[in-house]
Structure 1
Amino acid sequence: MNQRDVLICQVWADNDRRSAGRTVRVGAVSERHAYCTVLTAAAPGGRTGRRVRILIERMRPTSTGYRLVELVDGEQ
């Protein structure tokens, strides 16, 4: 995954089975990290709205990575 592939406003889902159901929205991107806000928590009653930093290299559809679930308007 390349930094240019991760864009602001995209929604990504956590593939790790320990975090099933967790989604995040990208708010900013640096050379190595995506700075995201948790939209849905993995556990019922979990914290949403929390800011997290995720390595760009984890933004790929592997068992412990992330998968893209919502594109940015105008993105194909």
Structure 2
Amino acid sequence: MTDTPTPATGQIWQDNDKRAEDRFLLIERLDQTHAHVRQVTRTAGGEPVPLPGVRGTRIRLDRLRPTSTGYRYIEGGEPR
């Protein structure tokens, strides 16, 4: 199992809630306490595409960890 990276712009995270297991989020920007994310789907080539009609939201950074009520890292991100 890989370590969970520090949240960064461009990363894709998946919701761990069993009711929303197909919910993938792209981090668009970060501030000191929150990640500003948009729900995405994947193309056949694997590129994330924002879902039309779904507005962005904010998630506290401390929730971006692999717990039952958190999120798990999938891929991507800009190098730091």
Range into which the TM-score falls when normalised by the shorter chain: 0.7 to 0.9
Q: Which runs of 5+ in 2 are unaligned?
A: 42-50
Unpaired runs of 5+ residues, structure 1, are: 41-45
1:34-57 CA deviation, whole Å, 9 max, x = no partner?
Answer: 0001114xxxxx866420100101
Structure 1 CA distance, aligned partners of 2:6 and 2:74? 13
| Percent identity of paired positions between Structure 1 and Structure 2 | 34
Q: TM-score, normalised by structure 1?
A: 0.75
1:22 aligns with 2:23: yes
| Residue 72 of structure 1: how far off its partner (Å) | 2.0
Post-superposition shift, 1:18? 1.6
Change in Cα spacing, 1:64 to 1:48, as seen in structure 2 (3 Å) is farther
Matched residues, number: 67
Task: Report the counterpart of residue 33 of structure 1 in structure 2.
Answer: 34
Residue pairs, 1:1-20, within 5 angstroms:
5-20=6-21
RMSD of aligned Cα (Å): 2.3
Higher strand share: 2
- The normalised TM-score by structure 2 is 0.72
- Aligned equivalent of 2:66: 61
